[in-house]
Structure 1
Amino acid sequence: MLGNFSFGDYFKPQAIAWAWELVTQVLQLPPEQLVVSVFQADEEAFAIWRDGIGVPPERIQRLGEKDNFWVSGPTGPCGPCSEIYFDFHPERGDAIDLEDDTRFIEFYNLVFMQYNRDTEGNLTPLQNQNIDTGMGLERMAQILQRVPNNYETDLIFPIIQTAAAIGAIDYATADQSTQVSLKVIGDHIRAVVHMIADGITASNIGRGYVLRRLLRRVVRHGRLLGIQTQFTAEVAATAIALAEVAYPQVRAKAAVIAAELHREESRFLETLERGEKLLAEMLQSETQQITGRDAFILYDTYGFPLELTQEIAAEKGLSVDLEGFEVEMQQQRQRSQDAHETIDLTVQGTLDQLAAELHDTEFLGYTQVSATTQVKALLVAGKLVKAAAPGTAVQLILDRTPFYAESGGQIGDRGYLAGEAVLIRVEDVKKESGIFVHFGRVERGTLQGGDQLTAQIDLACRRRVQANHTATHLLQAALKLIVDPTISQAGSLVAFDRLRFDFNCSRGLTSQELHQIEEQINTWIAEAHTTEVAVMPIAAAKAKGAIAMFGEKYGDEVRVIDVPGVSMELCGGTHVHNTAEIGLFKIVAETGVAAGIRRIEAVAGPAVLEYLNLRDHVVRDLSDRFKIKPEEIPDRITSLQQELKTAQKQIESLKSELAVAKADRLFTHAEPIGDLKILVAQLGEVDADSLKIAAEQLLEKLGEGAVVLASVPEPDKVSLVAAFSPTLVQKGLQAGKFIGAIAKRCGGGGGGRPHLAQAGGRDASQLPEALAEARRQLHYQLQTPFQP
């Protein structure tokens, strides 16, 4: 008990004395290089520093509410602060300006949580007062090591030095922009290393997108330093060495980190140069803003995070149309959702209107496959009606149901609703908040709102989906066991006839790994593990090791599906009671669906027999067609592929010869310009590769000059090529820049080397004008008169 001691009498003196003891005696900072700040109205703190600690009054600064009064929000606990600053340059004199961050750095803070602020702004003493105190680790490292910023401490500077060595840069003598790029690399690489060690992989969503943004910013700043090759893994090795003592798991993941960095850096470098060229063209335009459409093209096509486009634009004094970018993003989201079936907007609107009247649907499906129920709302085409005739598509809301509603990747149940004189076939069930919407069709009789019905799910479909859902859990367990324990779910689909599982992984799985996974899952199935289901607090579930899907929202109570010794996940879906009920498991395909995201498609239970029967039919058909045994099919296909490859080469060769023959007939049409010759022409339907060969051979015959050829190999597809001799290149003409500008007239673009470049377009109707412009530009740039 503190007796009659007040907060100011006891706690403040103690906290301040302990802070001073720590920084002056333990950390041994010179008192004469310390400055203290207090809230301007806090006389208690000022007196304690001056009289109790002995800090000279001129080294105690009174600051206003902005700097020295901590609040948790507009209302709630709050109180005055007192901070300790370190003076890096006492030689500059006695004048103290704490805003000068080149000299003073705040590193220690004491928050005296004394008051509660109400909605009127009134302060009243808290019943339970406390002090929140602490200091910045990296700032203290900066002070103890006497370096000008956090980046030059031993926490980050070795990483910066590695990057500088790769770029052959002397950090100490480098200009400010170079140092900034090195600091970005040092800071971001350290973050990226820990993110990958924690199981995050680069992607376009969530935390994976944060990782991608950081890494791509590192790569760009590396290019600004003149580093043209891959370097992130080498820099990361230094970051790993710095972290491994405190974070041994980082060293354990060194190979994973290097592989992820190499993969993502390779992917970005492939498109970075083209994206940078496109962005440079945008920046050279007269506009003061990059359009949302252009920013989206950079993001969607070239992998430029919006933040990177903003950063580069800001360097040139330009802005980005963020609203326009968001419009483009929303359109893309809509396109991606077109194939995803959701509750119709009309139905949604009706549900919103009924929300106050409807209670959450009671779900009985975990323990019951049939139940009596009542129609609480009857909708046709999303609108509330009183009755529905035979043949009508309806949406039903019931008071209770055994039908599972689509969620967690598992599709909704099918089945029937029956009354005395009415039968409804249920084709799907979806859920909006806690309301289940049954989509179906009236098979016979007239359905009335308020009818009492018997709900019966399709047991065969339910058993199939249960087998697939439990198999999905086994699949995730097998992936963690055989491939990588850090693998996590990125999405799933559990249907009646198949399952699909998306997961974070930076590489494709080998055929051996897929075989091992399949074999392991079938072993667990044969071992007949009993499935245990429990509902418990989420904290208890996580403590038991249950896996939660990243980004999923869970309540205080969660449902845990446990296959003892094999898998334990948080899941609201339906499952088999014993793994033996699954029967068999077969992987159908393994593919990549996005950067860092792989997908396994598989079948389980009765669907395996259907899959094998289909494959057997295909094999028998091929055997009959080729008149060979099934085991001879692979060799026969290899032979046919080789024959096709040889034939394709012959066709390509003939195409090239034909293109050259056509081009030869144009040789006499070349225009002399002094000692040079130019030829601009169209070659019908010649493909792009043959067009290039023809241009090169024509230029060789012309000698010094330029050849610009075009063709329309397919409807709505234009191919263009420009070949310039060394003399033209020496005069400053660049084939890549030249043909890219011409291609824009046909709704396209392109580029290449100074002496040879290709481009494409989509609007063949503009090709004659584009070629005419090519002639005009060649005459203009060679300073000769032009006659159409």
Structure 2
Amino acid sequence: MQALTSAEIRQKWLDFWESKGHSVEPSASLVPVDDPTLLWINSGVATLKKYFDGSVVPDNPRITNSQKSIRTNDIENVGVTARHHTLFEMLGNFSIGDYFKAEVIPWAWELLTGPEWFAIDPNKLYMTYYPEDKETLALWQEVTGLSDEHFVPVEDNFWDLGAGPCGPDTEIFFDRGEKFQDLEDSDPEMYPGGENERYLEIWNIVFSQFNHMPDGQYLPLKHKNIDTGMGLERMASVMQDAETNFETDLFMPIIHAIEKRDQAQNYGANKTTDVSYKVIADHIRAVTFAIGDRALPSNEGRGYILRRLIRRAMMHGRRLGINRAFLSELVPVVGHIMEDYYPEILADQDFIMEVIATEEGRFLETISEGEAILSAEIDRLKADKENTLAGDFAFKLYDTYGFPLELTDEYLADANMATDHDAFNQEMQAQRERARAARKDSQGMGIQSEILGDIQVASQFIGYDHIAADSVVNALILDDQFVDEAGPGDLAYLTTEVTPFYAEMGGQVADTGFIQNEAGESLGRVVDVQRAPNGQHLHQVELLADIQINQMIHLLVDEKRRHAITKNHTATHLLHQALKDILGDHANQAGSLVNENELRFDFTHFGQVTDQELVEMEHLVNEKVWEGIQVQTIETSIEEAKARGAMALFGEKYGDQVRMVTVDDWSIELCGGVHVANTAEIGVFKIMSESGIGAGVRRIVAVTGEAAVNVFKAQEEILKSVAEYIKVQKPQEIMPRLQANAQENKALEQELSSLKSKANQAAAGQVFQDVQSKGDRRYIAAALTNKTMDDLRKINDEWKQGDYSDVLVLATDNQGKANLLVAVNDKLIGEGVKAGDLIKELAPIVGGGGGGRPNLAQAGGKNPAGIQDALSKVADLL
């Protein structure tokens, strides 16, 4: 067995399965597309569920991949064990109803032991199998020629996740040797499949041959499948003779880069600090790839996971003596390790580093807040002579401020205190339950769809060039059954040999329209079109008349609606490029909707979009519209398209041949949608709104053509109404008139303010003359008419300028409400008389409440009739 790099292992895997007729499926985004059951892509098969459940039939039933995946259900074990990771790569080979056990077992043995492949010593390999699966055992024995001790029956070797495909599996283990076994200790788990460090599982092959029905039955599948998984990190540890996954070329460059930061103790010197090295190395890989796929830190969902990973890595950095932001500096290291298969990391490293650096800065701020809060709580516990921190308090520090429990424990240990761990764990479990309830947890492939997958007749889409066509009905479905005819009132599904109707895809809604018979009579309305598993355009039709299989019909797309859709779709491409030109290359599509009324475009952007930027991108799109540029659609290879710099749209899957839509080589995108022939057809482009819809994801809604003109008309009517209201003849006269009115209003306000000031002074002069006494305490209690609280405060300002009294109480009735103000001088405050105490006694009398400082308080109430009673009570209170 020769030492292989991780890149060599990955490539040998893919090359081997290609030699067996498999198509290489590229590693998909970590953010699931159209799969709400998953928070992350968590396995190699997760992105292929559409093939296994029958919703899509693959071009080639033999598939292989190396899929980046994230699992965070046991994050606390990362760095502690030898092989737990958040991000990992799963090497897989899959058969969708094609080959089965008799083919895959010999191939597996050839790959593992063949001299041109992994060349592992056969005697170091052990295979487990499901005890009832004698066929698998016999195949392994025949292919390998190994002695019986190399084959271990294990009851757990049956892959079953509830309703859906399931079946036995076989696991392949590598014997790492006696050095990973205590020979003096009789360990009952020391066998392949047991919990031990000697026998390492490197590959699992699942034979999906039954359908687990909801009633508990296991029925044979019509199409048997193969689903396998080999962890690249584990295989690297085997091929590189590493003690754990972390001592491989996938992690050591990151660990060495961490060693060069601020701490003195290097990796390998101490088991405790080694854990911190491993946690940081693991987490920065996961964070880098996730942000590269446009998952961004936030307080919920996958964004919360990212925030937690970043903060957890930073806390482990503190344990190594790194008390500053440093994680973003490791992104290029990750990029260089993975560049053979994932060159996009280095290409996108500036954006990834910016996001991580911003999050690190936020954490440094919040951790300071957390430290202050914890310190205050420790002081309170000391004062109350307590020595246990409440579990819910510790969880709040963890959940809100990113404080790991172990850091809280360290602070408490210094104060001879401890945390209520049981209560903390209860809070943690409650959070997990909330997260679990928030999404449907499904790992299975789903029960296979039969009826749609059985549509085998050909159907060609000709809608790029035609909006009408004559064709033959070659499949007719009613109530989930193939039928020969359907009639009025039925909601039927049909396919035709050719169709001009676009099926919903890539954000563009489906065409609608009509079907007619040969005489031109209406047969029904096409209300939706979707792609069937084998790629046919499946028309949903509300029937108005009888229709039969093999009938010739006329298909007619709603032309006006289609043209409105194509305008919006081409405008979406122009907007996408304008976003990149104005905001930067990181502004990638994160979803879209294109219909006849508007276009909605979601994009990644870590920050606000200014009004000026919106103006610039709107103008840029309109410039391309007004230039009247030909929109070219080119059929080409995926390699040529990438070489031209074509952008791939969110969630789309592309084959070897693709459609490349170009506008003056300025906007180049891979797209299967329908577009205008010339940008001038768009007419005009208008942005209606821009908003944030999630952490790092923003949305622009815009309109084109007639819809945009209607917006301008509505705005013009508003301007005409304003012009009429302010009595000008033309809209262009509105602003001069408004400016003149504003100046006039300002002058009037100044005059009014001056008059009110004089009135307040006059009122103050009268009020200050009516001084009363209670003992040696002087007070003024006066009611004023139609004054505001601001007026009362200005009279108070006058009162403070002279020695008129010790207490001032003012009340006013304004627009049916009562306002009270109480002021107390320093002399009475020293004697214990406070304005806030007085107002609390007086406010209820006017049906309200209030408060304030010792020298000034105010209140409002709903009962102006109580003002005189309130003023009469002042003497009693004094």
Using structure 2 for the length normalisation, give the TM-score: 0.47
Distance 1:405 1:155, change over 3 A: closer
Amino acid corresponding to residue 469 of structure 2 in structure 1: A
Select the structure that is richer in helix: 1
Contact 1:164 1:182 in 2 (8 A): no
Which of 283, 305, 318 is the matching residue for 1:188? 283
1:667-678 aligned at under 5 Å gives the runs none
Contact 1:418 1:424 in 2 (8 A): yes
Q: Give 1:600 deviation, angstroms.
A: 1.7
Matched, 1:568 2:668: yes
Which of 305, 327, 350 is the matching residue for 1:236? 327
Matched, 1:468 2:568: yes
Q: SS of 1:462's equivalent?
A: helix
Partners in 2 of 1:495 and 1:640 — Cα distance? 48
Distance 1:109 1:530, change over 3 A: farther
Contact 1:533 1:561 in 2 (8 A): yes
Partners in 2 of 1:83 and 1:637 — Cα distance? 88
Partners in 2 of 1:365 and 1:251 — Cα distance? 40
Which of 500, 503, 507 is the matching residue for 1:405? 503
Q: Give 1:159 deviation, angstroms.
A: 3.9
Contact 1:203 1:595 in 2 (8 A): yes
Which of 464, 476, 482 is the matching residue for 1:366? 464
Matched, 1:436 2:531: no
Amino acid corresponding to residue 294 of structure 2 in structure 1: I
Contact 1:492 1:499 in 2 (8 A): yes
Contact 1:535 1:558 in 2 (8 A): yes
After superposition, the C-alpha distances for 1:358-417 in whole angstroms (9 at most, x for unaligned) are: 96765432232112356765979999995437xxxx644343342323332222334344
Q: Give 1:590 deviation, angstroms.
A: 2.2
Distance 1:178 1:110, change over 3 A: closer
Distance 1:223 1:488, change over 3 A: same
Q: Give 1:516 deviation, angstroms.
A: 3.3
Matched, 1:200 2:294: yes
After superposition, the C-alpha distances for 1:294-341 in whole angstroms (9 at most, x for unaligned) are: x9x999x97999x99xxx9899444636995367425999xxxxxxxx
Which of 129, 132, 155 is the matching residue for 2:254? 155
- Identical-residue share of aligned pairs (%): 25
Contact 1:151 1:183 in 2 (8 A): no
Partners in 2 of 1:326 and 1:222 — Cα distance? 24
Distance 1:332 1:612, change over 3 A: farther
Contact 2:501 2:557 in 1 (8 A): yes
Matched, 1:447 2:545: yes
Contact 1:377 1:449 in 2 (8 A): no
Contact 1:361 1:436 in 2 (8 A): no
Contact 2:236 2:248 in 1 (8 A): no
2:429 aligned partner: 320
Partners in 2 of 1:682 and 1:374 — Cα distance? 88
1:521 aligned partner: 621
Partners in 1 of 2:644 and 2:259 — Cα distance? 42
Q: SS of 2:619's equivalent?
A: helix
Distance 1:380 1:303, change over 3 A: farther
Partners in 2 of 1:680 and 1:182 — Cα distance? 61
Which of 576, 588, 596 is the matching residue for 1:496? 596
Q: Give 1:491 deviation, angstroms.
A: 0.9
1:578-589 aligned at under 5 Å gives the runs 578-589=678-689
Partners in 2 of 1:78 and 1:655 — Cα distance? 85
Partners in 1 of 2:347 and 2:717 — Cα distance? 48
Which of 301, 308, 314 is the matching residue for 1:216? 308
Unaligned runs of 5+ in 1: 1-7, 20-35, 43-62, 100-104, 120-131, 281-288, 334-348, 665-676, 703-710, 714-788
Amino acid corresponding to residue 39 of structure 1 in structure 2: K
Distance 1:408 1:641, change over 3 A: farther
Partners in 2 of 1:141 and 1:634 — Cα distance? 78
Contact 2:251 2:282 in 1 (8 A): no
Contact 1:181 1:222 in 2 (8 A): no
Contact 1:81 1:111 in 2 (8 A): yes
After superposition, the C-alpha distances for 1:127-177 in whole angstroms (9 at most, x for unaligned) are: xxxxx998559988999xxx9999996733664785879xxxx999x9998
Distance 1:402 1:40, change over 3 A: closer
Distance 1:362 1:651, change over 3 A: farther
Q: SS of 1:600's equivalent?
A: strand
Which of 503, 506, 509 is the matching residue for 2:606? 506
Contact 2:792 2:821 in 1 (8 A): no
Q: SS of 2:296's equivalent?
A: coil
Q: SS of 1:608's equivalent?
A: helix
Contact 2:634 2:661 in 1 (8 A): yes
Partners in 1 of 2:513 and 2:744 — Cα distance? 49
After superposition, the C-alpha distances for 1:466-512 in whole angstroms (9 at most, x for unaligned) are: 11111111221222233222332111111223211111111222334
Q: SS of 2:630's equivalent?
A: coil
2:106 aligned partner: none
Q: Give 1:577 deviation, angstroms.
A: 1.9
Matched, 1:260 2:355: yes
Distance 1:377 1:507, change over 3 A: same
Partners in 1 of 2:516 and 2:726 — Cα distance? 53
Contact 1:477 1:566 in 2 (8 A): yes
1:751 aligned partner: none
Partners in 2 of 1:417 and 1:580 — Cα distance? 31
Q: Give 1:463 deviation, angstroms.
A: 1.6
Contact 1:379 1:395 in 2 (8 A): yes
Say what the alpha-carbon RMSD is for the aligned residues: 7.3
Distance 1:118 1:352, change over 3 A: closer
Contact 2:593 2:599 in 1 (8 A): yes
Partners in 2 of 1:601 and 1:533 — Cα distance? 25
Partners in 2 of 1:639 and 1:381 — Cα distance? 73
Contact 2:237 2:243 in 1 (8 A): no
Partners in 1 of 2:422 and 2:745 — Cα distance? 53
Distance 1:474 1:64, change over 3 A: same
Distance 1:81 1:237, change over 3 A: closer
Matched, 1:39 2:124: yes
Partners in 1 of 2:459 and 2:202 — Cα distance? 49
Partners in 1 of 2:721 and 2:573 — Cα distance? 36
Q: SS of 1:603's equivalent?
A: strand
Partners in 2 of 1:140 and 1:655 — Cα distance? 84
1:720 aligned partner: none
Distance 1:179 1:395, change over 3 A: same
Which of 614, 635, 640 is the matching residue for 2:714? 614
Distance 1:111 1:448, change over 3 A: closer
Instruction: Say how many residue pairs are matched.
Output: 568
Which of 625, 630, 653 is the matching residue for 1:530? 630
Partners in 2 of 1:413 and 1:237 — Cα distance? 46
After superposition, the C-alpha distances for 1:56-89 in whole angstroms (9 at most, x for unaligned) are: xxxxxxx9779xxxx9x999999885658999xx
Partners in 2 of 1:447 and 1:182 — Cα distance? 72
Partners in 1 of 2:590 and 2:436 — Cα distance? 26
After superposition, the C-alpha distances for 1:743-776 in whole angstroms (9 at most, x for unaligned) are: xxxxxxxxxxxxxxxxxxxxxxxxxxxxxxxxxx
Partners in 1 of 2:680 and 2:199 — Cα distance? 62
1:718 aligned partner: none
Contact 2:174 2:202 in 1 (8 A): yes
